Amino acid sequence: MSAPEVRTLEATPVGPYRLPTPAENTKLGIWVWLASDCALFAALIATYVSMHGHVGHAPTPQQLFDLPLTATATFVLLLSSLTMGLGLEAAQHGEHQRLMRWLVVTMILGLAFVGLQAVEFTTYVHRGLTPDASNFGASFFTLVGFHGLHVTFGVAWLLSIFIFVVRKGPLGPRDLWRLEAASLYWYFVDVVWVVIFTVVYLLGKVS
Amino acid sequence: MAAAAERIGGLARGEDRSASAVWSWLTTVDHKRIGILYLFSSMIFFLFGGLEAFLMRLQLMRPDAHVVSFALFNQLFTMHGLTMIFLAVMPMSVGFINYMVPLLIGARDVAFPRLNALSFWLFLAGGLVLNSSWLLGGAPNAGWYNYAPINTGAVVHGVSLNPGSDTLGIDFYVIGLQLAGIGTLLSGINFVVTIINMRAPGMTPMRLPLFVWASLITSLIIVFAFPPFTINLVLLMIDRMFGTGFFDPARGGNALLWQQLFWVFGHPEVYILIMPAFGMISEVIPTFSRKPLFGYSSMVFALVVIAFMSFMVWSHHMFTVGMGPVVNSIFAATSMAIAVPTGVKIFNWLATMWGGRIRFTTSMLYAVAFIVCFVIGGMSGVMLAVPPADYQFNDSYFLVAHIHYVLIGGALMALFAAAYYWLPKITGRLLNERLGRWNFWLVFIGFNVTFFPMHFLGLMGMPRRVATYPANLGLGFWNTVSTVGVFILTAGIVVFLYNLKRSAQHGELAGPDPWDGRTLEWSLPSPVPEYNFAEIPLVRDRDPLFAEKVHGNGRLVPAQIAEAHAAEEHASAHPAGIHVPNPTILPFVVAVALTVTAFAAIFRVWPLAILGLLAAFFAIFRLMYDHDPGHYVQPEEGAR
Amino acid sequence: MGIGGPQLHTGPEPRPAGRAVGTTRVHLLVAILLAALTIVAFVSVGGHLLPVGWLIPLLLVLAAAQVCMQLLYYMRLKWDRRIFALLFGGGVALAVLIVLAVHAMLSL
């Protein structure tokens, strides 16, 4: 091997260094996590799609699904995304009171969604669709219930931010990323619901 | 365990061994110490898995043997597979990733140090829950891929498909792997963010050491491949605990759903095992050939393509379930296509050695053995990818030979290469080369004597996972040879353990740069100080340290630090020293709470399960909101 | 900002967390559009306005439009680092692949 040619290493090709902020790291982390959550829901939806035909002696999707109820739940969640966004915007402008108001409204809407789901589930169970009655039931309760758990966790997350603000004072620019991270998750749960109400409820009613 | 890890780590770092030492290991958030914890615990699990294999080979040495009962044999092969894949090879790679990636990219820690600790404790909790099944009523017994419906305890025509699954063994599988899986997923997320965000200035994507590229790709595969498996486990859990019938054909379920979701995960999983190995070999070979890696860009490209393809081939595990010629042909084609980027890597490694001034250290011997064994495993893989032939090979010892050539000949050889290469950086002392040679030749010969005959056994028709075989089939000879090989292999492992112990006490001091290395970690003292880099380096070449040796003055140039943030966030310019995060017990608490939940779920104590879950969430929220002021460490004089 | 490169975190100032890109106006506009699309979806199913052959593609397109709008405007992918979209897009692509492939192979 011949001697390597001597060359000048570049002096300073890049600007001054700083550590990435918690906001930069956390947001990237949240996006990676949400990407992986997509695969999680995909596996559940694949299960539902391949199982929903096995109704056995239990009621069928067409008999059970109540579109007005689902539409109400959908609008509740949709509205909660809007209030989340308004809350985030208030925080960005440093309007503390408005943030807290929107946070409370968002949490109430989230709980209302979970409540509606509880009502829906109990109705179905009373009408004979238990998780072990048919594989439609099993996969339906698993998929939709899993999404409901996501919403519940989202409410807990928002509540934790609420408590944080109550204890430590208004969200400063240095802590804004906490709310941003939670909001990304909250929107994502709504995105998943769009897929679920289309694939499960609307297509279930159609076919 | 932590106490034992402390022995190695304490020796490595020269710390005091007071009672608080255990506490310091439980609360550490230093990526290097977490890496040591991973390496140590995966080594223990590896010995467990090895013991299980040893017992199986004793049973199979002679026909009609009764060394272990048939029921125990089922548990042995299940736990052997699970342990080696989930608790030994994967976390061993994660251990090296943990320790080395921040050093290789010029960072002081990972993006989320406390999440990193949580990942480790969850992995350990999962491993312990899984292994506790031995003492609590029997281990899982349906194979590592745990096919439905034998995993559900289903009864067909009054006969249980798997009498053993009436016990809790499979519940330990379901719960233990979920716990460990969450830990792995979190560490995948952590390393994606670390590698994308935390690189030192000048460390552009096409200057990343190949091990870092491999770690990034591995982490991405983890992030995308684990969810389908998690869902599979959740569905099985609901089946077993709440009486649904997802996988029970008698009730309208579909046993193939398990297979599909399992292999959607399962095939990428084998790439999770082998990708870090590719990365390790790509660091070892250039260093000991004294040449830059040949075809760097094509190596990166090949890694990306292999990762992408790994999600396109899963049904080649299911050729014989009757998906028809169209599906089988598609998946045969995609499976064979993976051989192309893999071949690119093999030729690049060979071309790196070509014309180099090769030093055959133990590490390099293992790297070369890796290439040889992995090519053999790859060839038998392409043979298995031919569906008509697969109808013959499927579920025979041919497959056992293939997977062990890829996972021992591939992944484990690379891990040994990495151990001889990087442990001096971790412990500060070189491993003994003389013992290393004994270790290498015993392992290499033992491995080939054990597993090469399995190709013949498979072609002679011996099915895998049988507890014994009759004498008149003529399978006895090669089985005996194979078991003799296991004795040689075991001797090799024992020599390695002795080498570890001896070198930790009397080994030659490594110094910062024992191999005349190319990459950033060799600019640091061995063992590496808590803050890694006293000054964040400026990366000016793909082989940063080597370039400075050849074209500069042999020392890395410090990067320019942004003034506005130097004081607050990046305290290199801080008079008090370098900012490092404080230790915390909370990740350990989360893992303990989830372990309680795990056992409560296995034994169906639901209130306790919910209590554990709430405690875990409470601790997680504490982790999220407790402000960590960190503390300052004064860098040592002359440390770079 | 691009995918990576050192310039990523070598700028003089970090981008302030939560730069106010999604204004109230955008939020309200997107919300109204989302609501409109949802109403179209539910009414077209509930009112049996279309033959099934048309309805299914329509519902899928409506859902896709809603998902994209939420991702781009609510979740700010339109303004944020491109790698977020890249990673998440990978997740979505894999998700679609899993659903289609598993369904296709299980219904063979």
Q: Judge contact between B169 and B133, C-beta under 8 A.
A: yes
Structural domain harbouring A158: 23-55+78-206
State the count of interchain CB pairs (< 8 A) between B and C: 51
Q: What SS3 state is found at B578?
A: strand
Each residue's pLDDT tens digit, C7-63: 344 433 444 444 445 578 888 999 999 999 999 999 999 888 888 889 999 999 999
> What's the pLDDT at C2?
33
Instruction: Tell me how far CA of residue B101 lies from CA of A87, B299, B366, C28, in angstroms.
Output: 39, 18, 21, 45
Q: Which chain A residues contact residue B536 at CB under 8 A?
A: 17
Q: What SS3 state is found at B367?
A: helix
Least Cα distance to B78 among B124, B42, B123, B131 occurs for: B131
> What's the pLDDT at A8?
66
Residue A20 distance to chain B (closest CA, Å): 7
* Chains in contact with chain B (at least 3 beta-carbon pairs closer than 8 A): A, C
Give the separation between CA A38 and CA C88, rounded to whole angstroms.
8
Each residue's pLDDT tens digit, B306-332: 999 999 999 999 999 988 899 999 999
A7 domain residue, yes or no: no
Q: Which of residues 159-188 of A touch B (CB under 8 A)?
A: 160, 164, 178
Residue B196 distance to chain C (closest CA, Å): 7
- In one letter, which amino acid is B280? M
User: Which residue is closest to C3 within chain B, CA to CA?
Assistant: B196
Q: Which chain A residues contact residue B246 at CB under 8 A?
A: 47, 51, 135, 138-139
Residue A194 distance to chain C (closest CA, Å): 6
Chain B interface includes A139 (CB < 8 A): yes
* Whether pLDDT at B400 is above 90: yes
Residue carrying the six token digits 């041919």 = B398
Q: Which chain B residues contact residue C10 at CB under 8 A?
A: 201, 562
Count the alpha carbons within 13 Å of B233 in the hemisphere toward its beta carbon: 23
The CA angle B572-B576-B577, to the nearest 5 degrees, is 35
Tell me which of B244, B541, B563 to substitute to probe the interface with A (most A C-beta atoms closer than 10 Å): B244
Among candidates B538, B569, B617 on the partner chain, residue whose Cβ is nearest the Cβ of A19: B569
Read off the pLDDT of each residue in A114-142 and give the average, rounded to a whole number.
94
Q: Which of residues 241-270 of B touch C (CB under 8 A)?
A: 254, 256-257, 260-261, 264
- In one letter, which amino acid is C85? A
Chain B interface includes A13 (CB < 8 A): yes
Chain B interface includes A71 (CB < 8 A): no
Is A110 or C8 the better-scoring residue by pLDDT?
A110
Read off the pLDDT of each residue in B126-151 and give the average, rounded to a whole number.
91
User: Which residue is closest to C31 within chain A, CA to CA?
Assistant: A82
Is B98 or C76 the better-scoring residue by pLDDT?
B98
Residue carrying the six token digits 């990762």 = B307
User: Which residue is closest to C55 within chain A, CA to CA?
Assistant: A206
* Whether pLDDT at C78 is above 90: no
Give the separation between CA A83 and CA A99, rounded to whole angstroms.
10
* Chains in contact with chain C (at least 3 beta-carbon pairs closer than 8 A): A, B
* Whether pLDDT at B12 is above 50: no
Residue carrying the six token digits 């982390």 = A29
Q: Which chain B residues contact residue A17 at CB under 8 A?
A: 200-201, 536, 559-562, 570
> What's the pLDDT at A7?
62
Q: State whether A18 and C10 contact (CB < 8 Å).
A: yes
Q: Identify any residues that bridge with B537 across adjacent strands, giving them in sequence order.
A: B558
Element spanning B317, H or E:
none
State the count of interchain CB pairs (< 8 A) between A and C: 161
Residue B631 distance to chain C (closest CA, Å): 23
Each residue's pLDDT tens digit, B358-377: 999 999 999 999 999 999 99
Q: State whether B564 and C108 contact (CB < 8 Å).
A: no
Question: To the nearest whole percent, how much of chain A has pLDDT over 90?
Answer: 71
User: Which residue is closest to B556 within chain A, CA to CA?
Assistant: A9
Q: State whether A21 and C17 contact (CB < 8 Å).
A: yes
Among candidates A14, A25, A32 on the partner chain, residue whose Cβ is nearest the Cβ of B223: A32
> What's the pLDDT at A11?
56
- The CATH number covering residue A113 comes to 1.20.120.80
Q: State whether A51 and B254 contact (CB < 8 Å).
A: yes
> What's the pLDDT at B298?
97
From the centroid of its chain, how far is CA A141? 17
> What's the pLDDT at C107?
79
ipTM: 0.93
Write out the DSSP string of B182-247: HHHHHHHHHHHHHHHH-PPTT--GGGS-HHHHHHHHHHHHHHHHHHHHHHHHHHHHHHHHH---TT
Element spanning A200, H or E:
none
Q: What SS3 state is found at B160?
A: strand
User: Which residue is closest to A160 within chain B, CA to CA?
Assistant: B621
Least Cα distance to B489 among B81, B144, B57, B100 occurs for: B57
Tally of CB atoms within 10 A around B52? 22
Count the alpha carbons within 13 Å of B429 in the hemisphere toward its beta carbon: 18
Q: What SS3 state is found at B555?
A: coil
Q: Judge contact between B201 and A17, C-beta under 8 A.
A: yes
A118 domain residue, yes or no: yes
State which of A6-15, B153-162, B457-466 shows the largest mean pLDDT.
Answer: B457-466
Q: State whether B203 and C6 contact (CB < 8 Å).
A: yes
Chain C interface includes B327 (CB < 8 A): yes
Read off the pLDDT of each residue in B584-591 and give the average, rounded to a whole number.
96
A48 domain residue, yes or no: yes
The count of structural domains within chain A is 1
> What's the pLDDT at B578?
84
Is A25 or A17 the better-scoring residue by pLDDT?
A25
Question: To the nearest whole percent, how much of chain B has pLDDT over 90?
Answer: 79
Write out the DSSP string of A69-114: HHHHHHHHHHHHHHHHHHHHHHHHTT-HHHHHHHHHHHHHHHHHHH
> What's the pLDDT at C10?
42
Mean pLDDT lowest among A19-28, A43-52, B204-213, C20-29: C20-29
Among candidates A7, A40, A132 on the partner chain, residue whose Cβ is nearest the Cβ of B231: A40
Q: State whether C102 and B264 contact (CB < 8 Å).
A: yes
Each residue's pLDDT tens digit, B419-440: 999 999 999 999 999 999 999 9
Among candidates B224, B254, B562 on the partner chain, residue whose Cβ is nearest the Cβ of C91: B224
Each residue's pLDDT tens digit, B379-394: 999 999 999 999 999 9
> What's the pLDDT at A53?
87
Read off the pLDDT of each residue in B486-506 and give the average, rounded to a whole number.
95
Q: What is the dihedral of CA B109, B112, B114, B119, to 10 degrees?
A: -100
Phi, psi at B359, each rounded to 5°: -110, 115
User: Which residue is closest to B579 within chain A, CA to CA?
Assistant: A19
Q: Judge contact between B236 and B151, C-beta under 8 A.
A: yes
* Whether pLDDT at A145 is above 60: yes
Residue C49 distance to chain B (closest CA, Å): 34
> What's the pLDDT at C80?
87
* Chains in contact with chain A (at least 3 beta-carbon pairs closer than 8 A): B, C
Q: Which chain B residues contact residue A138 at CB under 8 A?
A: 238, 244-246
Structure tokens at A137: 């039931």
Sign (positive/negative) of CA torsion B500, B502, B508, B511?
positive
Chain C interface includes B501 (CB < 8 A): no
By DSSP bridging, strand B159-160 and strand B155-156 are antiparallel
Among candidates A45, A180, A187 on the partner chain, residue whose Cβ is nearest the Cβ of C18: A180
* Whether pLDDT at C97 is above 70: yes
> What's the pLDDT at B557?
87
Residue A17: pLDDT band (50, 70, 90) is: confident
Residue B10: pLDDT band (50, 70, 90) is: very low
The CA angle B189-B194-B199, to the nearest 5 degrees, is 160
Q: Judge contact between B19 and B65, C-beta under 8 A.
A: no
Each residue's pLDDT tens digit, B206-248: 999 999 999 999 999 999 999 999 999 999 999 988 888 899 8
Is B55 or B2 the better-scoring residue by pLDDT?
B55
Least Cα distance to B581 among B119, B118, B110, B196 occurs for: B110
* Whether pLDDT at B599 is above 50: yes
Residue B111 distance to chain C (closest CA, Å): 13
> What's the pLDDT at B439?
97
Question: To the nearest whole percent, how much of chain B has pLDDT over 70?
Answer: 92
Residue carrying the six token digits 């061995």 = B526
Q: Which chain B residues contact residue A154 at CB under 8 A?
A: none
User: Which residue is closest to B618 within chain A, CA to CA?
Assistant: A160
Residue C67 distance to chain B (closest CA, Å): 20
Residue carrying the six token digits 């349906």 = B142
Mean pLDDT, rounded, of chain B? 91
Q: State whether B228 and A43 contact (CB < 8 Å).
A: yes
Ranges of H-type helices in A14-172: 22-51, 61-64, 67-92, 96-126, 135-168
Residue A122 makes CB contacts below 8 A (sequence gap 6+) with: none
Among candidates C11, C41, C75 on the partner chain, residue whose Cβ is nearest the Cβ of A198: C41
* Whether pLDDT at B7 is above 70: no
Chain B interface includes A149 (CB < 8 A): no
* Whether pLDDT at B135 is above 70: yes
